[in-house]
Structure 1
């Protein structure tokens, strides 16, 4: 195993369909479509909390859609390998701090999101 992973910059339209579907649905607050992007046993880690399985992820999606008002702009995308992608977003809104750049690190399995880690 080696420590240096290759990150290839991508255009947003080069992201896998399931990631694009999730990002578009999340931005539109379409919980059902966003949830359809995940494996049944998926995990999402956001703000230090991990949500396991579709029921917990659905609750997280519903809450995150209503907790704060914000704009989100995709500022960069990368591919590490066939199953690992990162989408960087700039958010501005009424959450603590007002602005943040977040990295959405995706792990795919069978063309669905198995793991999503959201962190600055």
Structure 2
């Protein structure tokens, strides 16, 4: 009987690990975004920085867009700080928009603030 219990526990552990890895991959990948390059300019309304990535909500002609910026280490590496992402500041975002029709969500590759570029993914061709 202990052998059967061990087999069930092992199977459960493998399934749990697979599901956890799938959830992480689905969230952090680029599969949800289009392949098409996209650029938009708006005014920062709110900011939430942290893990798994930061989010900046911008107003673009009366519509709210959510911009996914990098993880804290990625933002720090390129010099994109919370002090730059203040409410009321204009920001241009270059990246990829959501493939889901009508969803106003962008994965940022590069942002421009005060004519300064912050390239979040310097090795990624865009």
Structure (1/2) with the larger strand percentage: 1
Interval containing the TM-score (normalised by the shorter chain)? under 0.3
> TM-score if structure 1 supplies the norm length?
0.27
Give the number of the structure whose alpha-carbon radius of gyration is greater: 2
> TM-score if structure 2 supplies the norm length?
0.26
